[in-house]
Structure 1
Amino acid sequence: MRWLNDEQIPAFPFLLFILVLRWFIPPSQEKDSVGFLAVLIRAFRFVLGVSSPYRCWGGGGRGRLSLCPSGALCSSTTLREQGQEIHAAMPLLHLHLCFTSVLCWLAHESSSLVLPNATELLSPPSSTRTGPAPGAGMPRSRRRRYLSPRDMNAILDYHNQVRAQVSPPAANMEYMVWDERLARVAEAWAARCVWEHGPPQLMKYVGQNLSIHSGRYRSVVDMVRSWHHEQQHYSFPHPRECNPRCPSKCSGSVCSHYTQMVWASSNRLGCALQACSNVHVWGSTWRRAVLLVCNYAIKGNWIGEAPYKMGRPCSACPPAYGGVCSNNMCFTGLKSNQVSWF
């Protein structure tokens, strides 16, 4: 069979070689179109390397020998010989274009086994979800239902900070501690992802504050801080106004979250955090929301009563505290407990 320019590969046998090679690709590489193409390209380069030896031009002068880049011996040629070889190489260019077409056809055929898996949809095409995916913008530690010990301490410390700095000063403000039983009840209720207080049978014994947000991540302290912001709308009743019942003096839509935070005898706290896909809030649906539930014991916000007694800090502490005062609060030295609160 005639070779092109006596140095080039024959067109038809090489194409036949490629087509035959396609059926000898290992199954593992046949499933990977990239690996399959790499094998064909290596085969193409190998055949070219065997049938088309390197020619070097511009070596060390006419008739002298020099080393090719591959290390093989080759001879210098004249400009006329270079032109002849370039002209003779044109059929090889046509062969290369033909080979590229074959590769495209084979790649299309083999990749049809790969693309469906490689482009598998992570959500249904008809999904109407908008905004970030669940948990997006939230630290990994927040994508769960339990508060971390750091979160618990942050919530508790924030409450005690607010309680210690009430104005006017409190004479009977008790130091607040963490209660695991209150936290477990809050956890069970938060898991329901409902925007209402509960469970109903415990609401006569337990005070409760709720906070919810949707969108970008907020720390638990940010969620609690909104309750404290109600202070700006609350006016503490003067003792002479409490005759015998104290009036409710709130200039905003609600102040009861703040008053529960600073209710003097509410000295136990337990909270839970829950990530919810949907929460119905006053006629609207909040998607991918985070719900915080905090339970307080003893229950505060009794109608007709002030949150605390106004006076010198710790001057009216309950006898159980033994006169111990810490940071303007009646203090027993206890940081947390699991005391029954029924």
Structure 2
Amino acid sequence: MQVQLFVKLLVIVLAELWPLSEATFSNDEKKIMLDTHNQLRQSASPTAAAMGFVTWSNKLEDLALKAAEKCKDDHNYGGEYANLGENIYSGPRTDPREITLAWFTEKSQYDHDTRKCTGKMCGHYTAVMFDVVNELGCAIKKDCSQNKNIVFCEYSHGAG
């Protein structure tokens, strides 16, 4: 009886830990992702009055991991993703700095005066640069298909 209970518990623990080994950034990569976001946010031009640093959120990382595991570049809405910002990267890159910089390149498509995109995509840029965001969590799922990795970053203002 005790052996069966131990085996069941072991299976549950392994089932919970297994995806983490396949779809998450290393601690060094998390630091690079976080540092890159903060460097870009501090270089904001024009300067945002309330722009602060973001911190890593394990809760948001778990949500990003849950999304990345599906290997689909579809945005998540409602439920536990309600009131969050979300960026998705799909492609060959795995370097967290390169991925964040790719999102940031959309700056040229954003009009700071009107606070709107100028006809092209700029939502990745605004998610990185939204001044009230103070929490970030990201995950990567490698090899979703040939030469395709999926990265999700979830953004929160920490108020709920």
**SS of residue matched to 2:111:** coil
Of structures 1 and 2, the larger Rg is shown by 1
- How far is 1:252 from its partner? 4.9
Residue 207 (str. 1) matches residue 74 (str. 2): no
Task: Report how far residue 187 of structure 1 moved.
Answer: 0.5
In the alignment, which residue of structure 2 is the partner of 1:191? Answer: 69
Q: Does 1:224 align with 2:100?
A: yes
The one-letter code sitting in structure 1 at the alignment partner of 2:38 is N
Q: 1:261 aligns with which of 108, 120, 128?
A: 128
Paired position in structure 2 for 1:291: 150
Q: Distance in 1 between matches of 2:33 and 2:71?
A: 21
User: Relative contact order, CA 8 A, sep 6+: which one is greater?
Assistant: 2
Summarize the alignment of residues 69-84 of structure 1 with structure 2, pairs less than 5 Å apart. none
Q: Does 1:250 align with 2:109?
A: no
Name the TM-score, length of structure 2 as normaliser.
Answer: 0.79
| 1:83-102 superposed matches below 5 A | none
- Opposite residue 110 of structure 2, the aligned amino acid is Y
Q: Counterparts of 1:232 and 1:210 in 2: how far apart (Å)?
A: 19
Alignment partners' CA distance in 2, 1:234 and 1:199: 23
Corresponding position of 1:158:
36
Q: 1:248 offset after TM fit, Å?
A: 4.0
CA separation of 1:163 and 1:275: change in aligned 2, threshold 3 A: same
8 Å contact kept, 1:145–1:274:
yes
Cα deviation code 1:284-312 (max 9, x no counterpart): xxx341110000002xxxxxxxxxxxxxx
CA RMSD of aligned residues (A): 2.0
Distance 1:149 1:199 in 2: 28
Whole-angstrom CA distance in 1 between matches of 2:77 and 2:143: 18
Percent identity between matched residues is: 26
Letter in 2 for 1:266: V
Label 1:252 to 1:288 Cα distance change in 2 as closer, same or farther (>3 A). same
Q: Distance in 2 between matches of 1:164 and 1:252?
A: 26
**C-alpha deviations, 1:193-248, integer Å up to 9, x for none?**
1111126423322110001113xx541211111110011222211xxxxxxxxx34
One-letter identity of the residue aligned with 1:226? A
Indicate whether 1:145 and 2:4 are aligned. Answer: no
Q: Is the 8 A contact 1:189 1:199 kept in 2?
A: no
| Contact 2:94–2:149 under 8 Å retained in 1 | no
Distance (Å, rounded) in 2 between the aligned partners of 1:201 and 1:274: 22
Offset at 1:145?
A: 1.6
2:112 to 236, 243, 259: 236
Partner of 1:70: none
TM-superposed CA distance for 1:183, in Å, is 0.2
Going from structure 1 to structure 2, the CA distance change for 1:218 and 1:277 (only over 3 Å counts) comes to closer
Match of 2:50 among 144, 151, 172: 172
Higher strand share: 2
Residues in 2 aligned to 1:182 and 1:162: alpha-carbon distance in whole angstroms = 20
SS of alignment partner, residue 46 of structure 2: coil
Gaps of 5+ in 2: 1-20
